[in-house]
Amino acid sequence: MTSETKGTVGIIGLGIMGSAYASNLLAHGFRVIGTDIAEEAMATLAQQGGQPVGSAGEVAAGADILLLALPSVKALEKVTAEIADTLRPGAVACEMGTLPIEAKEACRVALEAKGADVLDCPVSGTGAQAARRDLSIYASGDEAAFRKVEASFGAFARDVRYCGSFGTGMKLKYIANLLVTIHNLSTAEALLLAERSGLDLNLVYDAIRPGAGGSRMFDVRAPMMIENRYEPATMKMDIYIKDLQLIMDFAREMRTPTPLMAASLPFYYAALAEGRGKQDTASLFAVLKGMTEPRDKGE
């Protein structure tokens, strides 16, 4: 099947995730146009075989399916205003980020007034998982609109599911990220204990991974921790901090206790304090390891 028959997908935001979406869509026969504020990201899209354009408005004018892969509420508000007047009739805009539901709702109201459909489609997975199509997409909103974009999602995600009314996707993402937050820290904690007990960490990884103690975060992040390899980041610490606050805000709104989540937060903030904002969240292992150094020196 050619890219002509599969159609064109527009991507606004070509960071770690958006760039991976583009690469996999192109590999599966879609045409991709996209834009980003970073010239390097635009150059990467061109190298991948996509078409970089100068503005979000141009992307909206050139595609019936739009993926919004944006880092903040401010960016979403800016892009919403930019694309409102160039949207194609019947276009489907998919907000893929981890952002407050009310921010996504504001985007939906604004763009649906212009004749587009808007879906809430947060993605669960790291940049490394995105590169190998190992993502889950929690799509919510109008089901007919979802069916229009389902095939394109399948080009860059392993698990694509329709979850119901608009905003359901983000609620699921809050739950997923709560588990990611805890499991990432538990992986670091377990590996540090293993290391200090004299175990070979590669043995630990191979032995634990298939057993009851394994998790997807153990699969993804343990190798990075074992190698002390935190750059390039698959999820930057300073971006993930935003997600932590969203989870805690949601839990407070639901009046739900989250003791393990709350206990995890100081270690993520410690990573920021150590200047690890651009490193992968796997760098929690280095944070914990650093806490052992004063004791070691005194022995």
* Both structure tokens of 250: 């949601």
Point out the domain boundary residue: 146, 165, 184. Answer: 165
Report the SS3 class of residue 78: helix
Give me the pLDDT at residue 3, please. 37
pLDDT in tens, 205-259: 999 999 999 999 999 999 999 999 999 998 999 999 999 999 999 999 999 999 9
How would residue 279 be classed by pLDDT, with cut points 50, 70 and 90?
very high
Distances (CA, A) of 205 to 16, 51, 99, 106, 194: 26, 41, 33, 44, 10
pTM reported for the whole predicted model: 0.90
Nearest one of 142, 96, 139, 90 to 116, comparing CA atoms:
90
CATH number at residue 285: 1.10.1040.10
Helix 101-112 / helix 168-196 crossing angle, nearest 10 deg: 150
Confidence of residue 294 (pLDDT cuts 50, 70, 90): low
Is residue 175 located within the same domain as residue 154?
no
**DSSP run (H or E) holding 177:** helix 168-196
Q: For residue 120, give its domain range.
A: 3-165
Tell whether 217 is covered by a domain. yes
Do residues 260 and 243 touch, judged by C-beta distance below 8 A?
A: no
Where a domain ends, among 126, 141, 165? 165
Regarding whether 160 and 29 lie in a shared domain, the answer is yes
* Residue 285 covered by a domain: yes
DSSP 223-260: HHHHTT---S-SSBHHHHHHHHHHHHHHHHHTT---HH
* Of residues 239, 248, 236, the one with CA closest to residue 281: 236
Q: Which domain CATH number covers 12?
A: 3.40.50.720
pLDDT tens-digit map of 162-217:
999 999 999 999 999 999 999 999 999 999 999 999 999 999 999 999 999 999 99
